[in-house]
Chains A and B, each alone.
Chain A
């Protein structure tokens, strides 16, 4: 059974940093691209970032490029999202998601973790 468990969320200061982790199990982690998708309170889904399982290539939404960094540790089956220069607009539930191979749509999602940016 595929499991994706996010951690590292909570309260962040404007201009501060947080690092999200996603522990993956139940599938061959290195064979799949992975993504982060967020959802602001009461709003729809917004893609944040993706990383290839094949070559580690990374992709970002314009709203986070230059501030967020996605990475993965295939030896630990873990996905990361380093979030710097946080703004109030980054307040959302962040979902870790497993993509179908190297296709850019997720077939499994974590329950998500809340990030609140406030002073």
Chain B
């Protein structure tokens, strides 16, 4: 099983600042990586797929990068609606696996 490790577990950021979230895979997943945002009481929302392609309707302040084992989600200028938990997911190999999540909170 490919283990996905996200860091940090919690990120405290002020509105308007940049947030950088990390996701590391225990073996290569090529570019078969997706990022999701989840707010309390809501279903997850797809942000990024293919490691760097923005999903439909996602603001351009969200960007993804990386390939192989190391990936980054960057939120260029945090808005109030961006405070949430973010998960990465690899879909290169069965079983599909998610990272443990990074909570982005208001500083």
- Seen from chain A, the residues whose Cβ lies within 8 Å of a Cβ on chain B are 35, 37, 44-47, 50, 59-62, 95, 100, 103-112
Contacts and interface: CB of A to CB of B under 8 A. Distances in A.
A104 B43 contact: no
Contact of A61 (B45, B89, B95): B95
Contacts of B36: 45
B57 to A, nearest CB: 10
Determine chain A's interface SS by DSSP, over half rule: strand
Interface of B: 1, 34, 36, 38, 42-46, 49, 55-56, 85, 87, 89, 91, 94-101
Given A105-B46, A105-B49, A62 B95 contact: yes
Contacts, number: 55
Contacts of A107: 46, 49, 55-56
Contact of A109 (B44, B91, B94): B44
A80 B55 CA distance: 27
